Every structure is written in structure tokens, then in C-alpha cells.
Amino acid sequence: MKYYDPASLSRYRGCSQRLKPARTVRFPNDIVFQDNIRQGDLEQVGRFIRARKVTLSTLYPSGLAALHEAVLAGNLDCVKLLVQYGADIHQKDENGWTPLHMACSNGYTHIARYLISLGARLDATNDEGEKPSDLIDADSRDLVELFKAARMD
């Protein structure tokens, strides 16, 4: 079965045969919201939050909350937006990982710096007993230095 989009129908106006318009697929709000976070579409993320179509503390079927998704995407602007709207920087995913655990594990110094500046707990442990600093790759010198400096404060 072939589907036609409405824009392409204009070239067939002279046809005697009627064409069926393309089907639309609707996804649940939380799926669309997560996709907007992954894509870094800050305008849509903000719209979802302002319209109260999502709850920022929800753990999605992926086991992650919205802030975890933004950290995994490496998108500091999205992280800031979610925090601005009340996302909890201490929230744990289904494995006990905080957003700071994820930032450290993925080498996102810029996000780790931001989370630490907001008071993210350096001593938070995941279900395996690991602290965020335990997940830093030895080659991530900026993260190593960031944690040294944070411990001295």
C-alpha cells in the first residue's frame, strides 16, 4: 500500500481516482518528550513542560528520567532548561545513577561542572556502590581536575 502526503496530492488534482491521504501515527507524550530531549529541541521541551504534559520526575520505560536523557545526549542547554523547570539533580535512575554519574561516565565535563555548581552530591553511590568519580575515565583529565578542585572546596 502506498501513502501520499497532502503536499504531493496537488499534482494529482486532475486525476479521476481519489488518493488516500497518508496515515498519521500518534505517540504518547512521554515518548515524544524524550525524543525532543534527545534531539535537543529546546522549544518543544519547554512547550511540553509549560503545558504540563509531562512530569519531570517520571522514570520512563528506559529507566531514566528526563534529566538523565538530557545528560546522555550531552546537551547542557537542555540540562539547564530541565533544571530551571524543577528537574531534580539528585534523582536516581533505575540503577541508582544520578545525572552526575552519567556525566562522569560519558566524559561530559561541561555538564558535570554545571551539576556540581548546583550542589550535586559527589559522594552519591549507585546500586553498585560507585561514586561519580569512580566512573571517570583516567584520560578525562578535565573531569579528574574538576573533582580534585570540588573536593578542596
CATH number at residue 37: 1.25.40.20
Residue 7 lies in a domain: no
Helix residue spans in 51-140 (DSSP H): 66-73, 76-84, 99-105, 109-117
pLDDT over threshold 50, residue 10? no
Residue 77 near residue 46 (C-beta atoms within 8 A): no
Looking at residues 96-110, what average pLDDT do you find? Answer: 96
Give the pLDDT confidence of 27-57 residue by residue, as tens digits. Answer: 888 888 999 999 999 999 999 899 988 888 8
Looking at residues 104-126, what average pLDDT do you find? Answer: 96
Q: Specify the number of domains making up the chain.
A: 1
Residue 66 lies in a domain: yes
Residue 93 host element (H or E): none
Is residue 109 very low, low, confident or very high in pLDDT (cuts 50, 70, 90)? very high
Is residue 153 very low, low, confident or very high in pLDDT (cuts 50, 70, 90)? low
Residue 15 lies in a domain: no
pLDDT at 96 (0 to 100):
96
pLDDT over threshold 50, residue 1? no
Domain that holds residue 94: 27-152
Residue 102 lies in a domain: yes
pLDDT over threshold 70, residue 105? yes
pLDDT at 152 (0 to 100):
72
Mean pLDDT of the chain: 86
Give the pLDDT confidence of 54-102 residue by residue, as tens digits. Answer: 888 888 778 889 999 999 999 999 999 999 999 999 999 999 999 999 9
pLDDT over threshold 80, residue 111? yes
Residue 101 lies in a domain: yes
Cα separation, 91 vs 68, whole angstroms: 9
pLDDT over threshold 70, residue 15? no
Residue 20 lies in a domain: no
pLDDT over threshold 90, residue 116? yes
Residue 22 lies in a domain: no
Helices 141-152 and 109-117, interaxial angle, to 10°? 10
Residue 124 near residue 117 (C-beta atoms within 8 A): no
